[in-house]
């Protein structure tokens, strides 16, 4: 652990916040939604990304409370901005999805904020399927999906046994990890492009929406578009920002 902290006090002081990154249609470049990304605005260490403080949250056993705070911030943001922002994707952890009341909790918060379930996309990695509570996590995802919440499988292709999980999980979207996207520029060795093509083919063949992360160049966007990837996010389109940056008129879902 890089620094000592009091995450609990930081939470009360409002130092945990969300930044929002646009997801765009690769065909039209229109904004279709956003992903909420957790940040710790620390008075001494500045703005920190989750990889820098994840250990602190585990050590201080505050992960679940932070996640509840994340959901509240995300739903407040959705309520504030309404229809013009499309769907908001929020990263969920295993702990948050475990237990018999997990789905009810999320649906209650949606109802409390008056946000329709279809405005929320729950992002999970396939790692949740390796959790001891995988059975209840799967039941939670199914209940959320049945209620109209979108489910996205994050970092696809970087874990184990992806195909088995893909068949079991109620997944609407597959997100191609940015490590793959980084490899399909002009200097592609052939291997990465083949993997990306296969992931898009698999996703589309199963009727999923495929999202590419970490798009930084027009060349990457062009290739992904050619391969049939529908949605993208990355610095080419917009960095995560603490406020909504106006990206033009509201658009309809694809």
**What residue ranges bind ligand G (CB under 6 A)?**
21, 37-38, 49-51, 70, 91, 93, 154-155, 178, 213-216, 234-235, 240
- Residue nearer to ligand G on the CB measure, 24 or 103: 24
Q: Name every residue whose Cβ is closer than 8 Å to that of residue 14 and which is 6 or more positions away in sequence.
A: none
For Na ion, the closer CB: 60 or 123:
123
CB 52, min distance to ligand G, A:
9
The answer to whether the CB of 15 falls within 8 A of the CB of 242 is no
Sole binder of Na ion in the list 32, 60, 154, 177 (CB under 5 A): 154
Q: Does 96 bind Na ion (CB under 5 A)?
A: no
126 binds Na ion (CB under 5 A): no
* Binding residue (CB under 5 A) for Na ion from 32, 123, 126, 177: 123
Residue 192 to residue 212: CA distance in whole angstroms: 13
Contacts of 114 (CB under 8 A, 6+ apart): 79
Specify the residue, 49 or 84, whose C-beta has the smaller distance to ligand G. Answer: 49
Applying CB under 5 A, which of residues 91, 98, 119, 230 lies at the interface with Na ion? Answer: 91
| Cβ burial 228-253 (10 Å sphere, 16+ → b, else e) | ebbbbbbebbbebeeeeeebeeebee
Residue ranges that bind Na ion, judged by CB under 5 A: 91, 123, 154
């Amino acid at each position: 652990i890089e620094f000592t902290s009091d995450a609990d006090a930081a939470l009360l002081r409002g130092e945990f916040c969300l930044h929002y990154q646009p997801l765009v249609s690769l065909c039209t470049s229109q904004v279709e939604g956003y992903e909420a990304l957790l940040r710790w605005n620390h008075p001494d260490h500045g703005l920190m990304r989750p990889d820098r403080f994840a250990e602190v949250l585990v050590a201080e056993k505050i992960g679940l409370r932070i996640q509840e705070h994340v959901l509240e911030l995300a739903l407040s943001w959705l309520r504030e901005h309404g229809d013009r922002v499309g769907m908001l994707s929020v990263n969920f952890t295993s702990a948050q999805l475990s237990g018999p009341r997990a789905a009810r909790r999320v649906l209650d918060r949606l109802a409390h904020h008056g946000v329709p379930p279809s405005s929320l996309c729950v992002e999970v990695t396939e790692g949740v399927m390796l959790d001891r509570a995988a059975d209840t996590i799967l039941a939670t995802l199914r209940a959320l999906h049945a209620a109209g919440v979108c489910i996205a499988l994050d970092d696809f292709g970087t874990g184990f046994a992806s195909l088995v999980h893909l068949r079991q999980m109620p997944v609407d979207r597959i997100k191609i990890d940015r490590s793959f996207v980084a490899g399909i520029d002009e200097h592609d060795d052939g291997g990465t492009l083949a993997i990306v093509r296969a992931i898009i083919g698999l996703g589309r063949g199963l009727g999923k929406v495929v999202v590419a992360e970490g798009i930084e160049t027009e060349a990457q966007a062009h290739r992904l578009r050619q391969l049939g990837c529908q949605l993208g996010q990355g610095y080419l389109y917009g960095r995560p920002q603490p406020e909504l940056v106006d990206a033009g008129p509201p658009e309809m879902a694809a």
